[in-house]
């Protein structure tokens, strides 16, 4: 047996740290009573279930969603809705859940936040829906993060994106199924020779398409064009434009 080193004299916290882990499940739930008493609030948590060959058992990690929007849990923990503004689907940037999603955008986009956001738009889910987070693989480490009111506290955060996990269902909302065949044909006719942003602008110039609010929502907020690409109904050429 090798001679012990100085680090062998330190004690471990017992908390999972510094490991590769896949988000295999996500839900929204209320925090444990002991946390509620300590924090003085009972805001819903975003709870990730992480699996890793480096862990003996799956790790559940919770992130507070904050109190400002008065989040309410729905669909058996599969989503949260703001009581103050039901049309809002964004976490506050100062909440732990907001910090988590902001970090994930940066990592998935390889430092380009917009690129990371486009990846999630193609999935078709809001950050306030559980499937938004599932099926992604990261390296995780504990970090000291700022706390509202001053000070810091430790949280487990991703610090490297390792891709989409094999063997874990990667959820994508099938927005294309909600679109009529006629609308798809119109979009295809407008698409030729245009980049994605140009096609979106062209759709806005067609009064009958623009007046279809549900269709516009799917195009601009729910990744419809990416879904049409995935289904082979739109094809992107080597120049980044539709053919």
Neighbours of 123 (CB within 10 A): 22
Residue 199 has pLDDT above 90, yes or no: yes
What is the model's pLDDT at position 142?
95
Whether residue 157 contacts residue 141, with contact meaning beta carbons closer than 8 Å, is answered with yes
pLDDT given at position 23: 95
The model's pLDDT over 8-51, given as tens digits with 9 standing for 90+, comes to 555 444 578 899 999 999 999 988 766 655 555 578 999 999 99
pLDDT at 13: 46
CB 152 within 8 A of CB 96: no
Q: Length of the chain in residues, anyone? A: 243
pLDDT tens, residue by residue, 6-16? 665 554 445 78
What is the residue-wise DSSP string for 66-123?
A: -STT-EEEEGGGTEEEESS-TT-----TTSHHHHHHHHHHHHHTTT-HHHHHHHHHHH
pLDDT digits (tens, 9 = 90+) for 115-145: 999 999 888 889 999 989 999 999 999 999 8
What are the pLDDT digits (tens) for 144-179?
Answer: 988 777 788 889 999 999 998 877 766 666 554 568
Task: Tell me the angle at which helices 196-205 and 181-191 cross, rounded to the nearest 10 degrees.
Answer: 120
The pLDDT score that the predictor gives to residue 102 is 97
| Domain range list for the chain | 17-164, 175-230
Cβ-based neighbours of 38, under 8 Å, separated by 6 or more: none
Per the model's pLDDT, the better-predicted residue between 231 and 90 turns out to be: 90
């Amino acid at each position: 047996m090798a001679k012990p080193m100085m680090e062998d004299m330190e004690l471990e916290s017992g908390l999972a740290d510094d490991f590769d882990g896949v988000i295999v499940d996500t839900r929204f739930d209320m925090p444990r009573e002991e946390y509620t008493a300590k924090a003085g609030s009972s805001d819903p948590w975003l709870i990730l279930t992480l699996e890793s060959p480096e862990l003996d058992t799956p790790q559940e990690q919770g992130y507070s969603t904050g109190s400002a929007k008065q989040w309410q849990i729905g669909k058996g923990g599969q989503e949260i809705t703001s009581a103050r503004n039901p049309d809002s689907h964004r976490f506050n940037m100062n909440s732990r859940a907001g910090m988590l999603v902001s970090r994930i955008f940066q990592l998935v986009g390889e430092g380009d936040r917009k690129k990371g956001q486009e990846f999630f738009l193609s999935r078709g889910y809001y950050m306030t829906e559980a499937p938004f987070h599932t099926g992604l693989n990261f390296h995780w480490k504990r970090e000291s993060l700022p706390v509202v009111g001053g000070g810091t506290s430790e949280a487990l955060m991703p610090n490297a994106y390792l891709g989409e996990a094999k063997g874990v269902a990667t959820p994508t909302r099938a927005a294309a199924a909600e679109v009529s065949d006629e609308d798809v044909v119109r979009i295809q006719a407008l698409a030729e020779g245009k980049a994605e942003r140009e096609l979106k602008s062209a759709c806005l110039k067609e009064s009958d398409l623009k007046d279809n609010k549900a269709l516009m929502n799917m195009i601009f907020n729910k990744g419809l064009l990416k879904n049409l690409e995935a289904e082979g109904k739109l094809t992107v050429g080597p120049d980044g434009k539709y053919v």
